[in-house]
Amino acid sequence: MKNAQNIFVNSEPKFVNHIVEENDIVTALINFEEIDYIEPEEMNLDIIYEDEYLLVANKPAGIVVHPSSYHLNNTLANGVKYYLNNNKKIRPINRLDRDTSGIVMFAKNEYVQECFQNKADYKKEYLAIINGILDNDKGTINKPIARKPDSIMEREINYEDGQNAITHYDVLERFVEEGYTLVHIELETGRTHQIRVHFKSEGHTLLGDDLYGAPSKLITRQALHAWKISFVHPITNEEVKLEANIPEDIKNVITKLKKAM
């Protein structure tokens, strides 16, 4: 059992499995050095919120959130590491696909990260352009999602082995002549590729999604943006509502579609 050098009970250092008793005073020090393999890289970050506990950035499309065996460098986490310039681990609370733009939250310590482990602790809202015209003004897609057999990246609807996945949406605008729908989406769960897989299962792939649909001349990636997020701050207990500016490529598509109406 690892000695918790930063945990004290009644001013005495204790292991993490120490049993506390009534009236014990427990103190945890969170400003300690951590080993992190992420290399700092200077990057132009679009920071939309920051305090002592959280950093929230508007991620551009084309950037991976966190290093992996396929993307060791030039990730958003590398840029955050450089910006924070400290000896702490980089702790993303949520993740986005490489070509999805929008809000990514980072916790500045382990405690705050743990406070957001339950997806219900924060509400994520997206903006998307989908192929085809949705008939209903609003709806819910409730279909379980699992990794597609023999694929590293793709997911699929799987009623036997899939994880619970729920997506709520409402239509913002229909471009009937062009055959597209602008939708606002709220996630109740956060499965990998959830929005993309759910709308494909309804017969409406995202515009420009070349993994689950087809490339588009209107945009060079899937037209999906993590637009808004809201949560109760785990330290201050204040409600925080944040919005990430819609990127130019999606705004340009919307403008073109409006002109074509």
Catalytic residue annotation:
97
| Backbone phi and psi for residue 257, each to the nearest 5 degrees, phi listed first | -70, -35
Contacts of 9 (CB under 8 A, 6+ apart): 18, 20, 24, 25, 26, 27
SS3 71: coil
Structure tokens at 57: 């950035």
SS3 48: strand
Q: How far apart are CA 59 and CA 183, in angstroms?
A: 20
**Dihedral of alpha carbons 114, 117, 120, 122, sign:** positive
**H or E segment and range at residue 136:** none
